Structure formats: structure tokens, C-alpha cells
Structure 1
Amino acid sequence: MARYTGPKIRIIRRLGLLPGLTRKNIKNRNTTPGQHGKPLFTKKNRSSLSDDYRERLYEKQKLRFNYGITEKQLYSYYQQAKREPGSTGNLLLQLLESRLDCVIHRLGFAPTIPSARQIVNHGHIFVNGKLVNIPSFLCQKEDIITVRDRKQSKNLIKVNFEYQQQKRTLIQRRMKRVNLSAAKSRFHSLLPTHLKVVDNENLIGQFICPVKRKDVLVRVNELKVVEYYSR
């Protein structure tokens, strides 16, 4: 199955908000796709999802579209997580969040995962001083992510990063005003705890540790995904 490149709003109207797929909002879209669409995100109108298989399918599709991977890739990550000791669902999310395109997006170097994939493909990113142009590259603990020392690369990513930093500053001010701690918030723009921006000027980031479950932005029941592939 090929990677999806069609309308993004159609997908989030069906599956729910997917922070990695698009920054567009659906304020004016009140129904699911199609001529006979049903109201969005209401338990009463989603009773058709009582079928176990369909529930599992929806949760699996959330991961596939949010991280922009193919069915074959997602199944491969599941198999890899299954071989490791620990919770298969959490390990699956850790693998997806450690992909280089996802790390670039979460650092604020790109607005979405698809745009981060393009940045990596075009050779703008270095990991530990080596050029990496494979979006599926899995980052390890203490990896240093830098931008290629070229004017075009710097300008491209700096625009995205400065916009993201402005949003983070604004959110942190509002959180301080209402005494809301970062641990209790789930704002998409905030930097997760498993990543660190080492140098704002030179655009240097670091992958500190595997992602924690609370830092995963997409709202998904990973146990349903495991059940889907275990059937």
C-alpha cells in the first residue's frame, strides 16, 4: 500500500486530530466525509464503532496516517516491538517517535511530518556529523541533530523554527498565568521531554531518551493496534 498523499482534512475528519499530518483546523467541518456525513467526535454517533475489528482498524489507521508510513512499514515496526521485552504498544510508539522525520517535526524544524520527510530527503539534516537523507532513520540516545551548514538549509529551517519558538513562548506565558504545569499539558507546540534544543542560533537538537507515553501527541489506544496485528 502506497503512502497517502491525498486530502488531509478528509483523514482527520474521519479519524480525529492528527498533529503530525497537518496544522490545518476543522473548525468549520462539523461532519465526517461524504454526502451523508455524521457529526464529528460524538460518542452517540460513533456507535457503529462497537464492532471490535473496526475499532482496531481505526486506531491502526491513526498511527499510519499521523506518522506518514505505509502498512508494510507499520507492521515491520510492530514485529520489531514484539521481539523486545516490555509493553509492545509502548515500544511501538517509541519506534515511531524515534524516526528522524518525526524528531525533526517535534524539535520544531518542520511544521508537519510530511514536510520534515521532505527536508530529510533533500539532504538538509546531519546526525552526529553525518548526512542522513533517510526519513525512517531511527535516532538513538544522545544523538545530535544538526542542520547542514548551507545558507539555503539554514534559512529554510530557521523560518519554521522561529515560528514554532514564538508559539512555545506564548503558550508558556499563558500556562504561567493560569498556573498550569508542563507535565499536565498536551500542547502540540511544546518541546517534548525526550528532545532538547541545544543551540537555537545554530539549530542544533538532541535526542535525549526514548519518548514517554505522555509525550505522544496523537490520541491513540496502542493496545487496539497490538490486538489488530495479533488477530
Structure 2
Amino acid sequence: MAKYNDSKCRLCRREGAKLFLKGDRCYTDKCAYDRRPYAPGHAGRARKKLSDYALQLREKQKVRRVYGVLERQFSNYFVKADMAKGVTGTNLLSFLERRLDNVIYRIGFANSRSQARQLVRHGIFTLNGRKVNIPSLLVKIGDQLSIPEKNRKIPVVAEAQEVIARRGCPAWLEVEASAFKATVKALPQRDDIQFPINESLIVELYSK
């Protein structure tokens, strides 16, 4: 499977926005995007007028990098979103939000989505009482996510309560930090996604 091994901060600078790929570090003065808020490379400071296609492409790349999915995965999500009832762009974001690795990040049991993926692959969590190791699994209403007793002493997991208190949790998820478990109360709505995303540009890109 393809993996990005370069500096994650370069991705934020390329997209011209904080993607919060390094967790809490992005909130500190060590954030590379705050110190150099322009694209990487020798021509990074130059102002360029982007075409409509370039704007659509950059928006798609930004969302894909935020959620950490590959090009083919993202394309498959769009096909599913287009076939589902409702607004295609909203459906797309809902599918991405329902990914297990994203839910782990949202409830504060990991510092970033990439860290959440690693923890899921190591079988740290259980879903409805069964161990899971597939980061792309989509949760549904009523699903219960928990951390078994034997895994609660892992340093990253042990910080869960502090992270949840600092970052907060979306309304469609209910967290019991002291019990190391969470429940999916509803499907994510567009208002639950506060990150600045213009999904209509992505729909326009794939509709060509």
C-alpha cells in the first residue's frame, strides 16, 4: 500500500491550510504552517492565479489528505456517495467521517488520524465486543467502540480523557472517557464538520 513518507507539514503548506496531520503539535508555535504559510519549494512565495480545475483539484487533494485516504479509495467513496440518496457532497463527507480511524480520532483516543490508523491495525479497539483491525470500516448508528482493559495502559490511550476535554467531541458521537468507550448516536451531518471544506468543488471535478 502506498505511503507518504515526506514531512506532513509540507502537505499543509501545499494546500494552504492547516490539515492537523500532526495532532496537538499543530496547535503549538512549532507548527510549520504558522511559521511558513506558503507553498513549499523555491516558487512557493509566488502568487499564482489558479484555474477552476486547479481549485477543484486542490480541494479534492486537501480533503483526501485530511482523512488520509488514497486516490482510489477516495474515488470509490465518491461513487458510493453519488449513488446514495441525498446530496452527493454531503454523502461523501459523511462516508469519510464514518471511517473507524476518523471516529477514533474524533473521540480523542488518538492524537491524529494517522496514529488512529496505526492503533486500529494493532487491534487495540473492539467494535460491538469484537476486535477490529480495519481502519476503513464504516461505523453505523448504535455501534459501540471500546478499549479492552488490557490495552488501557498504553500511553497514547491513557491520555484519552485529557484529549477529549481539550478537543471536544462531535454531537453524533457519545463518549464515556472514564470507561474508555463510545457510542455512535447518529450519522454525521454537514454541520458536524467544522473544517473548512467546499465539497461542491469536488463534485464538479468528478462530474467532468
Query: CA 1:78/1:120 → structure 2, altered by over 3 Å: closer, same or farther?
Result: same
The question of whether the paired residues in 2 share the 8 Å contact of 1:111 and 1:160 is answered with no
Partner amino acid, structure 2, of 1:155: K
Structure 2: gaps (5+ residues): none
Name the counterpart of 1:127. 127
- Give the deviation of 1:166 after TM superposition: 4.3
Partner amino acid, structure 1, of 2:184: F
Name the counterpart of 2:140. 140
2:174 to 159, 184, 196: 196
Q: State the Cα RMSD in Å.
A: 1.6
Matches for 1:40-55 after TM superposition, within 5 Å: 45=47, 48-49=49-50, 51-55=51-55
The question of whether the paired residues in 2 share the 8 Å contact of 1:192 and 1:215 is answered with yes
- Give the deviation of 1:116 after TM superposition: 0.2
- Give the deviation of 1:164 after TM superposition: 0.8
Name the counterpart of 2:187. 210
Partner amino acid, structure 2, of 1:48: K
- Give the deviation of 1:227 after TM superposition: 1.2
Matches for 1:1-231 after TM superposition, within 5 Å: 2-15=2-15, 16-19=17-20, 21-23=21-23, 24=26, 25=31, 26-38=33-45, 45=47, 48-49=49-50, 51-150=51-150, 153-156=151-154, 157-167=156-166, 189-197=167-175, 199-231=176-208
CA–CA separation in structure 1 for the residues paired with 2:196 and 2:53: 18
Query: CA 1:159/1:86 → structure 2, altered by over 3 Å: closer, same or farther?
Result: same
- Give the deviation of 1:207 after TM superposition: 1.1
Partner amino acid, structure 2, of 1:96: L
- Give the deviation of 1:148 after TM superposition: 2.5
CA–CA separation in structure 2 for the residues paired with 1:226 and 1:30: 27
- Give the deviation of 1:120 after TM superposition: 0.2
- Give the deviation of 1:149 after TM superposition: 2.8
The question of whether the paired residues in 2 share the 8 Å contact of 1:66 and 1:218 is answered with no
What CA deviation, in whole Å up to 9, does each residue of 1:149-184 have, x standing for no partner? 31xx212243331331342xxxxxxxxxxxxxxxxx
Secondary structure at the counterpart of residue 65 of structure 1: helix
Secondary structure at the counterpart of residue 206 of structure 1: strand
Partner amino acid, structure 1, of 2:19: L
- Give the deviation of 1:29 after TM superposition: 1.5
Instruction: Tell me the TM-score normalised to structure 2 length.
Output: 0.90
Partner amino acid, structure 1, of 2:108: G
Instruction: Tell me the TM-score normalised to structure 1 length.
Output: 0.81
CA–CA separation in structure 2 for the residues paired with 1:131 and 1:215: 27
Structure 1: gaps (5+ residues): 40-44, 168-188
CA–CA separation in structure 1 for the residues paired with 2:49 and 2:3: 27
The question of whether the paired residues in 2 share the 8 Å contact of 1:17 and 1:218 is answered with no
CA–CA separation in structure 1 for the residues paired with 2:34 and 2:206: 34
CA–CA separation in structure 1 for the residues paired with 2:5 and 2:75: 20
Secondary structure at the counterpart of residue 201 of structure 1: helix
